[in-house]
Amino acid sequence: MKVIFVGTGAIGVPMACQIQRAGHAVIGVDVFEASRQRAQAQGIEAVSRIAEAPEADVVVVMVATPQQLQALVAEALPQVAGQHWVIMSTVGPQAVREAASSLIAAGAQVVDAPVTGGTARASTGELVIFASGAPAAIALVEPVLKAMGSVSIVGDEVGEGQGIKVINQHLCSVHIVAAAEALNLAQSLGLAPAQVLKLVERGAAGSWMLSDRGPRMLEGTDVSVSSAINIFVKDSGLVAEAATACHAEVPLLQVAHARYLAAAEAGLGQRDDSRVIETWSKPAN
């Protein structure tokens, strides 16, 4: 298939590479020169605007925010007829439904397919994809989706995939903050956080986020960025908005969201999300 991949950032480029390795023709789109250069360094041609991209069968969207999705759709509407759009960004149920409404009215098909797994799994084609939408639309884009990871079809309505991702990000948001608090507690108790981490991650207290983020929390501010604080500012905010819309109580999420905001306000927004640990008075680093 001919594929346009919008959003060649840290996770977008390895996703696009997996699609290309599966035999599809891929062109990237990103407004940032550095992101386009990242794509080109991996053998993927990239342009700055979707209007500059050639015709395509499938448009994969991996932008950062609901506002970016809205702007992208507005720009692309004149050329979307006959295309299948796969919205993989974490933007929340309401944003994806609004985008789908505009795209479908202009003659496109839409699949809601957010992902989880981060850059590591994106690089190996092992993302977990929550796909929802019309069965025929999912079937057509499934070869592209399977190039990036395992596909779980969660419903036939656009927005259901984002709903699952909201729950996923609720847990991720809370688990990272819980891991940071626990490692800070270990240090405050006079224990060696690295030793505590090795011991507790093997038992009932273990979690994927503890094992993945914990070691990075112990490395210090300059640890390589896998997922930035600002991503969790956005994602935990989307969870809070979705919870408010359905009148669900999420007190733990609110605590976690406040920690990400505090980290961003402390100048850590572009740092790895593990640096949320620095919002405690005695960071373990």
- Annotated catalytic residue within 146, 165, 234, 282: 165
Q: What are phi and psi of 84, to 5 degrees?
A: -110, 115
CB 239 within 8 Å of CB 250: yes
- Residue 198 annotated among the catalytic residues of the structure: no
Q: How far apart are CA 115 and CA 88, in angstroms?
A: 6
Give first-to-last CA distance, the chain, whole Å: 47
**CB neighbours of residue 181 within 10 Å:** 17
What is the H or E stretch that residue 112 is in? Answer: strand 109-112
Bridge partners (DSSP) of residue 86 are 60, 111
**Spatial CA neighbour of 260 closest among 173, 200, 164, 132:** 173
Catalytic residues: 165
